[in-house]
Amino acid sequence: MARYIFVTGGVVSSLGKGLSSASLAYLLQSRGYKVRLRKLDPYLNVDPGTMSPFQHGEVFVTDDGAETDLDLGHYERFSGVTAKKTDNITTGKIYSDVLKKERKGEYLGKTVQVIPHITDRIKEFIKHDTSKEDFVICEIGGIVGDIESLPFIEAIRQFSNDIGKKNALFIHLTLVPYLKASDEIKTKPTQHSVKELRSIGVQPDIIICRSERPIPLEHRKKISLFCNVDIKNVIETVDVKTIYEAPISFAKEKLDVQVLNYFKLKSKKSNNLTPWKKITKITLNTKKHVNIAIIGKYVELKDAYKSLDEALTHGGIANNIKVNLVRIDSEKLKVSEIKSKLKNVSGILIPGGFGKRGTGGKIEAIKYSRINKIPFLGICYGMQMAIIEFARNQLKIKKATSSEFDKTGVHIIGLMNEWERGGKKIKGTDKDLGGTMRLGSYDAILKDKSKIKDIYKNRLIKERHRHRYEVNIAYKDKFEKKGLIFSGLSPNNKLPEIIELKNHPWFIGVQFHPEFKSRPLSPHPLFSSFIKAAKNHR
Ligand code: GLN
């Protein structure tokens, strides 16, 4: 049976529970154990798919087509374990499952209540589909003390009783602030947070203290005493310069050793930190840099393009160069400013997006990179915009557009059923929007002698999708005659997956999101190649 590790947070959010869980997963794996990671989110949305990136950051898409919390991205990147639909659940999903059952009369006339019905459903989620793992790490979103997270904490308390305390471990991550004015480190918030946790029946076994500076022994002793935790289990995590240092710093603090000790397990191997040391060194010591512009709608929120930022950094690691991200708000980008704003960039990236706002700036920037031969990568919406730009300016279809934001133009981009019959438009779109998203991993077949095939070195690739609109395949020949090649197609040849420009050093658009599959220890070839092209650009 798997052993369960529950990670809760206290004092403030954004302390890095996801990164801590992911680092612990890596360390346990490198000790020879099989690990799975899960996230329990206390909000009422059924999944984060409908949430704005401004609110919640990126929506991470899994191979099996789930729209999940961005922490699952950290999990995959650090542990290498492909996340599944069943690894992320929200309060909204729990309630909707319970209410569906209630409507069917499956509770046999009982009063349906938070305890036991909601908590039972949470426990089912924690446990199902996990037989072969040695450890399941479950991160509880939000912080202790939030009204929303109460049923989750109650459920993990019950769960630990159900499976026996020796099979469940509670880790609590808190903030240990440093007060500049009095030059002091404060343990009181941690004490209060643990008190709060204990008031709902959970005694942490390990406390991870996030701090700006190292925590002296006397303060650790205080935390140990007041929070009733073994001093060896008071683990500090001091701010790291790069996230790749996190596994190294947790290993130094013996987090993995303490976890194994708790479960009375032996280490099967010594942990391997070499790959993390190597990439930390590259990240911190590389002096040379390359500027890459990301032109999108959500650039102001750091987490909105989390996987993308990471994948670009990985591309930099592969090329021994630091990637400087120049974030440009597409809504504010004026045509007159394009030249000056893009003057010092060696690569232009247009990420995924939805809706009309900001499309004008994106299209102009694509034109600029096409004409000035600046390496360009268009992802999903970015590829669709590149198609529109080329159609308008090279194929001279002035009204070329996407039915996503213009119902009257020439729909080079649209819903499949808008042109299904012999390339002819057959019906309107509005009622078809719901449930028509193409989500998760799909195959694409790459064209021989194309740049993309050189990059992937494979004929068949599998990449993750999250879009509703497609490039209309009926225009393929017209584009190709003018030099824009459809170098990747869906296996049935109906859906353009990749475009690339002839006579350009590096101009590629992809209908999928390669960033979800890039990992620091194995950078995605598309990002490595893009950064290489940018590096060679000047
Ligand atoms: N809005 C576009 C579509 O739905 C692109 C989506 C995206 O970039 N993820 O097809």
pLDDT digits (tens, 9 = 90+) for 314-366: 999 999 999 999 999 998 988 888 999 999 999 999 999 988 888 999 999 99
Question: Is 58 one of the annotated active-site residues of the chain?
Answer: no
Side chain identity at 535, as an amino acid letter? K
Q: What angle do CA 156, 235, 244 make, to 5 degrees?
A: 95
**Is the previous residue joined to 520 through a cis bond, with omega within 30 degrees of 0?**
no
> Going edge to edge, which strands form the sheet with 322-329?
322-329, 289-296, 347-350, 376-379, 507-510, 496-501, 484-489, 438-446, 460-467
Ligand 1 atom at minimum distance from 351 CA: 8
Band of pLDDT at residue 432, cut at 50, 70 and 90: very low
Q: What would the two tokens of residue 347 be?
A: 């690569």
Phi, psi of 513 (to 5 degrees): -115, 90
59, 349, 380, best to mutate for ligand 1 pocket (most atoms within 8 Å of CB): 380
354, 388, 406, best to mutate for ligand 1 pocket (most atoms within 8 Å of CB): 354
Domains identified in the chain and CATH numbers: 3-277 (3.40.50.300), 286-537 (3.40.50.880)
Alpha-carbon distance of 141 to 143, in angstroms, equals: 7
Band of pLDDT at residue 428, cut at 50, 70 and 90: very low
Over residues 432-449, mean pLDDT? 81
59, 294, 362, 468, best to mutate for ligand 1 pocket (most atoms within 8 Å of CB): 468
Partners of residue 496 on adjacent β-strands = 489
Alpha-carbon distance of 11 to 208, in angstroms, equals: 12
Question: Is 513 one of the annotated active-site residues of the chain?
Answer: yes
Alpha-carbon distance of 413 to 401, in angstroms, equals: 6
Q: What is each CA distance from 86 to 38, 66, 108, 232, 274, in whole angstroms?
A: 8, 8, 27, 34, 32
Check pocket membership of 404 for ligand 1, CB cut-off 6 A.
Answer: yes
Residue 430, pLDDT > 60, answer no
Check pocket membership of 314 for ligand 1, CB cut-off 6 A.
Answer: no
Residue 219, pLDDT > 80, answer yes
CA 406, distance to chain mean position in Å, is: 30
Contact (CB, 8 A) for 382 and 514: no
Check pocket membership of 207 for ligand 1, CB cut-off 6 A.
Answer: no
Over the stretch 111-163, which tens digit does the pLDDT of each residue have?
A: 999 999 999 999 999 999 887 999 999 999 999 999 999 999 999 999 999 99
Over the stretch 123-132, which tens digit does the pLDDT of each residue have?
A: 999 999 887 9
Question: Is 227 one of the annotated active-site residues of the chain?
Answer: no
Check pocket membership of 381 for ligand 1, CB cut-off 6 A.
Answer: yes
DSSP, residue by residue, 438-457: EEEEEEEEEPTT-HHHHHH-
Q: What angle do CA 492, 498, 500 make, to 5 degrees?
A: 135
The phi-psi region of residue 58 (left if phi > 0; otherwise alpha if psi is between -120 and 50; otherwise beta) is: beta
Residue found under tokens 């002096």: 287
Write down the pTM of the prediction: 0.91
Would you call 351 helix, strand, or coil by DSSP?
coil
Check pocket membership of 466 for ligand 1, CB cut-off 6 A.
Answer: yes
Check pocket membership of 353 for ligand 1, CB cut-off 6 A.
Answer: yes
Q: Name the nearest CA neighbour of 524 among 215, 211, 76.
A: 76
Q: What would the two tokens of residue 70 be?
A: 């961005």
In Å, the largest CA–CA distance within the chain is 76
Contact (CB, 8 A) for 307 and 243: no
Alpha-carbon distance of 352 to 308, in angstroms, equals: 10
Q: Which residues contact 538 (CB under 8 A, 6 or more apart)?
A: 346
Alpha-carbon distance of 69 to 60, in angstroms, equals: 6
Q: What would the two tokens of residue 386 be?
A: 């590149």
Q: What angle do CA 337, 343, 346 make, to 5 degrees?
A: 130
